[in-house]
């Protein structure tokens, strides 16, 4: 049942990314280009996500346990450090340069676009190097 729920959640997430145009690099770059031809429409996508999370997160955590597993797996680290800030900066720079975020890029890989394939391959290589470096 966990696999069915995971697949359904992933498909719903991918569908949401497609409907909101988060898989369109030009849309992302337009949102991030605040000094040029700025497109604020993705702020509504993010606002909607924050709204839903704010409404449901605490309610879900009041449950004794998740539906499909035994425990809630939450991050234990709550402080900011150099690694987190550096990683966030690298992520943001990569997102701004490519117009692609890992989730939407993986969701878009079915289009078999050469740029997407290169992005996902370099994402995997960078993740591997990052794990080895730590």
DSSP 83: H
81: helix, coil or strand?
coil
**Residue 18: is it exposed, middle or buried by C-beta count within 10 angstroms (0-12/13-18/19+)?**
middle
Q: Which domain holds residue 118?
A: 2-133
What is the C-alpha to C-alpha distance for residues 105 and 117, in angstroms, rounded to an integer? 9
| Radius of gyration, alpha carbons of the chain | 17
Task: Please count the structural domains in the chain.
Answer: 1
pLDDT per residue as tens digits for the range 67-96: 888 889 888 888 889 888 988 898 888 888
Furthest C-alpha separation in the chain:
49
Mean per-residue pLDDT of the chain = 85
- For residue 119, what pLDDT is reported? 84
């Amino acid at each position: 049942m966990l696999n069915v729920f995971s697949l359904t959640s992933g498909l719903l997430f991918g569908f949401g990314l497609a409907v909101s145009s988060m898989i369109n690099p030009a849309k992302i770059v337009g949102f991030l280009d605040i000094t040029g031809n700025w497109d604020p429409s993705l702020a509504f996508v993010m606002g909607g996500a924050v709204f839903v999370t704010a409404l449901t997160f605490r309610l879900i955590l009041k449950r004794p346990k998740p539906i499909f597993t035994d425990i809630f797996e939450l991050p234990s680290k709550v402080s900011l450090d150099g690694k987190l800030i550096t990683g966030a900066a690298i992520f943001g720079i990569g997102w701004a340069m490519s117009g692609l975020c890992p989730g939407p890029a993986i969701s878009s890989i079915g289009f078999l676009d050469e740029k997407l394939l290169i992005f996902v391959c370099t994402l995997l290589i960078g993740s591997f190097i990052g794990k080895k470096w730590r």
